[in-house]
Amino acid sequence: MRFCDLNESQLLALAITNEEEDGRIYRDFAHELRKNFPATAQLFERMADEESGHRHRLIELYQKKFGEHIPLVRRQDVKGFMVPRSTWALRTLRPEKAREQAALMEVDARRFYEAAAVLAQDAAVRQLLGDLAQEEQKHENVAEQINKEQAAAGEVGIEQHVARKIFVLHIVQPALAGLMDGSVSTLAPLFAAAFATGSTAETFKVGLAASVGAGISMGFAEALSDDGKLSGRGTPWLRGVVCGLMTALGGLGHTLPFLIPHFRLAMAIAMGVVCVELSIISLIRWKYMDTPFLSAAFQVVVGGLLVFLAGWFIGAS
């Protein structure tokens, strides 16, 4: 059905469903964030309570006007106005993104009530829809005020620190482990093949196989090493995917230059790529692991140099 064709009973039924869905989303936010981000969880609990109050007022008016049976009219049933929400994806948002999403939801709710009030012919229905549009506008201001109060109290700063820590545990650490393994461990077989064969095509095949194999191996090793329940390192499949992809990427970086037929040119570019990879690893360790940059660079370069020399020695012998 089209939004412009809805009658008063359908508008109220749709509004009731919207309030129920938005309230559940806010409580999902609160549930997922309560452990690590209590201030943001408190904000969403208050917003869910507000949505519950709106729903009760809509139901009371519906029962008074149209009886006890409320038909199920959902966002996805209406064309031309409403946008369905992907609730499963919303639950994985970081606190700041969840706040932004909540603000957008409040704007959508206000726009819906404003448009619905224009369509409604019944005076009582029109008045309630208009009142709810004004209240949704107030909710936007109240949420902003709560954010300011929590920021002034230092709660938002604490949550930002926790969010950074979680990001490091869930994403940065497995990505860094994969990038280091892919960039360093594949040096030996790649350059051993290069010095042994002198063929860019054969070297590329060896590097490709080493990179893909290392990516698969590291992905499974990371996913199976820890379920994240005790360590707080996040879901195994996410860590495994991140680690595996970064491992393969680290190896492919210095493998791709061997697509160039000229051996000396391919070798020079590959060695340059290795230097870039080691610099990126050092920067990540400096930024997220609080390791002094020179110390991180020295450790990574020494490891990479030893692996490179092993590959050169084996390939040239």
Residue 22 and residue 51 in contact, taking contact as beta carbons nearer than 8 Å:
yes
Mean pLDDT score, 195-214: 88
Q: What proportions of the chain, in percent to the nearest 5, are helix, strand and coil?
A: 80, 0, 15
Phi-psi region of 129 (alpha: psi -120 to 50; beta: other; left: phi over 0): alpha
Mean pLDDT score, 272-292: 79
Give the Cα separation of 53 and 51 in Å (integer): 5
Question: Is 39 a residue whose pLDDT tops 80?
Answer: no
Give the length of the chain.
317
Q: What is the pLDDT of residues 54-108, one digit of tens each?
A: 999 999 999 998 989 988 888 877 876 555 555 554 555 566 677 777 777 887 8
pTM: 0.52
Element (H, E) at 303: helix 293-316
Of the candidates 20, 158, 18, 44, which has an alpha carbon nearest to the alpha carbon of residue 97?
Answer: 44
Give the Cα separation of 268 and 265 in Å (integer): 5
Q: What is the pLDDT of residues 80-94, one digit of tens each?
A: 655 555 555 455 556
Which residues are 79's β-sheet partners? 2
